[in-house]
Every structure is written in C-alpha cells, then in structure tokens.
Amino acid sequence: MEAAEVAEHVSNDRTTLLSARDGSEEAGRLLVARHGPSMLRTAWHVLGKYGGNDAEDVVQEAFLAALTTDALPSGDVGAWLRSIVARKALDAVRGARRRLERPLPEVAGSREERAAVTVAPASVETLAVREALARLAPADRAVLVLVDLLGHSMAEAAEVLGTTNVGTRLRAVRARRKLAKLVRDGVTS
C-alpha cells in the first residue's frame, strides 16, 4: 500500500469506529469483520495455556472497551484494538491466577477447529515455538506477542503493559532467551 492508501484506510477505520460508538450496528459489524480475527489470535497468544475458551470473551471485552472509552487511537485502529486485547488478556490471566482457577478440559478438537479457520497449517518448528511460547510467563508472552508478532514498538508495548520502556526492553530480551532455550531443549523435556 502506498502512503496515501494507508492514510485513507486508517481514516476509514477511525470513521467506522466513531460510527459504531454512535450506535451504528453496520459499523460495529464491519469493525468485527475487519479486526476480530487478528484480535482473537492476539488473545490466544497472550492467554496461552490459560486461554481455553476465554479468548472470545477477552475479544468481546476489548470491543466493549473500545466502544465505550473516550480515548481514540492516534494511528492504526487495528493495532489499537489488539493492544486493548493484550491488556484484557493479561487481566484475565492475572484474575485466573488470583482465583487459582484451572481451565476445564475442552471438547475434543473444538479449539483446533476454530484455530484452523484463521491460521494456516503449521510446520513442526512453528508448533515447537507455539508450545514453548505457551509455557512462558504471561507477561513474557505478552511482550513477545506485542513486539515480535504484532510489530509494536517497545514504547507502545511498554504503554500497553504499564511498564517503562527500559523494563519492557529487558523483559523482551529475557523472554526471547527463555523462548529460545525452551525451543532448543525441547518443550516436553
């Protein structure tokens, strides 16, 4: 996309967001259609093993927050929505840990079937990385998802995570090392 096309796309998304906030159901459906799948993938990545069926709930909470807040994104609406999802997912993980909840077993294949709709078939290496990523602490996983998977800057990730830029950089470096070690050593060993 050229710069003018990108600017028009961002402007259209922002206009759609404002229309949805004003009660337009059509605009709300358009936002969900455009950004829902990427928001769901973000929720799954951040929630990891705590996710279960909570990813859909996190996305729904993120949409509600986006539609009810006075804040507006200064740039890409999709990136802004995914950052809200990341915060909501971290809140969900923290809440589950505080309550010492354990996820219930899922119906066989249900999560995989949903993932197959939005995610291409994965190689063995990709599966190893996903499994290792799921074993990281939620905050480590969140910084890697925000920076390495979604392409946010360290400053943007720091804002989402409520930490300093330096703290986020340190967490990212340490999380990458932990992830590399888990993949190198084999997640199940």
CATH of the domain at 182: 1.10.10.10
Co-location of 108 and 151 in the same domain: no
Structure-token pair, residue 34: 């455009």
Long-range contacts of 71-76 (CB under 8 A, 24+ apart): 72/14, 72/17, 72/18, 73/14, 73/17, 75/10, 76/10, 76/13
Instruction: State how far the Cα of 23 lies from the Cα of 3, in Å rounded to an integer.
Output: 30
**pLDDT of res. 19:** 93
79 neighbors 152 (Cβ within 8 angstroms) = yes
Co-location of 40 and 55 in the same domain: yes
**pLDDT of res. 31:** 92
Q: Please give the model's pTM, rounded to 2 decimal places.
A: 0.58
**pLDDT of res. 50:** 56
Which one-letter DSSP state was computed for residue 49? G
**pLDDT of res. 35:** 94
Mean pLDDT (10-residue bins), the chain, 189 residues: 52 88 92 92 81 81 90 88 90 69 48 47 70 85 87 86 87 90 74
**pLDDT of res. 18:** 92
Give the domain range for residue 78: 1-120
Co-location of 127 and 115 in the same domain: no
**pLDDT of res. 127:** 75
CATH of the domain at 9: 1.10.1740.10
**pLDDT of res. 118:** 47
Q: Which residues contact 135 (CB under 8 A, 6 or more apart)?
A: 48, 49, 182, 187
Co-location of 65 and 146 in the same domain: no
Instruction: State how far the Cα of 128 lies from the Cα of 165, in Å rounded to an integer.
Output: 29
Co-location of 104 and 148 in the same domain: no
Among 81, 104, 120, the domain-final residue is 120
Among 96, 120, 144, the domain-final residue is 120
Co-location of 29 and 63 in the same domain: yes
**pLDDT of res. 49:** 63
Co-location of 112 and 143 in the same domain: no
pLDDT tens digits, 73-124: 888 899 999 999 998 988 887 776 665 545 544 544 555 554 444 445 556 7
Among 73, 92, 120, the domain-final residue is 120
**pLDDT of res. 5:** 53
Instruction: State how far the Cα of 83 lies from the Cα of 69, in Å rounded to an integer.
Output: 14
Co-location of 50 and 101 in the same domain: yes
122 neighbors 112 (Cβ within 8 angstroms) = no
If one counts the domains in the chain, the total is 2
Co-location of 75 and 146 in the same domain: no
**pLDDT of res. 122:** 56
| ∠ CA 76-147-153, rounded to 5° | 60
